[in-house]
Amino acid sequence: MEPLPRDFYDRDTVEAARALLGCRLVRVLPDGRELICRITETEAYVGRMDKACHAYGYKRTPRTQTLFAPPGTAYIYLIYGMYHCLNFVTEPEGEPSAVLIRGAKVITNGDIIAENRFGCKMDQLTPYQRKHFLDGPGKLCQGLTLTRAENGLDLTDPNSGLYVCPGPAPEHIQVGKRIGIDYAQEAIDFPWRFWTEE
DNA sequence: TTCAGGATGTACT
DNA sequence: GTACATCCTGAAC
């Protein structure tokens, strides 16, 4: 399948966050194996005016540098010292904005993802582990072996190791406040989190 | 099913 | 030194 073009990301971040639900996230490992899942949960972050965004007010630091890259770039950072979060840069280059990928469902190679997450095959997981398999940003990155080494990858390049393909849009989309941004004052209440049960 | 606590490193004040 | 776009475990209910 063809990766989504740069145009897909070159637009309003909140729109992009909605549009990404149902799309296929493809991670190509160095050995060529493909881990594919369906995006089920996203959040929008807009540096121009959103206090929850790392690059709020166009703040440029070594970490936020990637947010100023062209749309369709992967922004991956370390959180809480142990986990990583995957984002897709959006809007025209120079507008530091991105969509956080918060959750997904496995489509192919679940056993490899389970190995990355828990060190065992899919069928060894407890019901709890299975139910909450990739329903968090840290879990997703752990399952797909995404770290800061993958920060800056070009999502429109099928050879980059990480790209996104179109998928069926979900029929029902839920909307709510974003998670874990209690410090962000008025931005706490922005309804910029989107998810689907499908 | 919910809850508290700890793990862990870096960015930035 | 403090906060952080988190996750897992184990105990209580």
Residue range A17-66, pLDDT digits in tens: 999 999 999 999 999 999 999 999 999 999 999 999 999 999 999 999 99
Q: Where are the domains of chain A?
A: 6-162
Across the range A109-138, mean pLDDT stands at 96
Q: How far apart are CA A88 and CA A162, in angstroms?
A: 11
Backbone angles phi, psi at A87, to 5 degrees: -130, 155
Q: Rounded CA gap, A16 and A90, in Å?
A: 8
Report the distance separating Cα A113 and Cα A124, nearest Å: 13
User: Cα–Cα distance between A104 and A138 in angstroms, integer?
Assistant: 11
Cβ of A52 near strand C (under 7 Å)? The reply is yes
Mean pLDDT of chain A: 97
User: In one letter, which amino acid is A15?
Assistant: E
Q: Note the pLDDT of residue A1.
A: 82
CA A80 to C1' B7 (Å) is 9
A101 CA – C11 C1', rounded, Å: 32
pTM comes to: 0.97
Who contacts A59 (Cβ-Cβ below 8 Å, separation ≥6)?
Answer: A47, A96
Q: Is the pLDDT of residue A198 over 80?
A: no
Comparing every residue's Cα with the C1' atom of nucleotide B7, the nearest one is A82
The span from the CA of A186 to the CA of A54, in Å, is: 15
How confident is the model at residue A165, as a pLDDT? 98
* Architecture of the CATH domain A6-162: Roll (3.10)
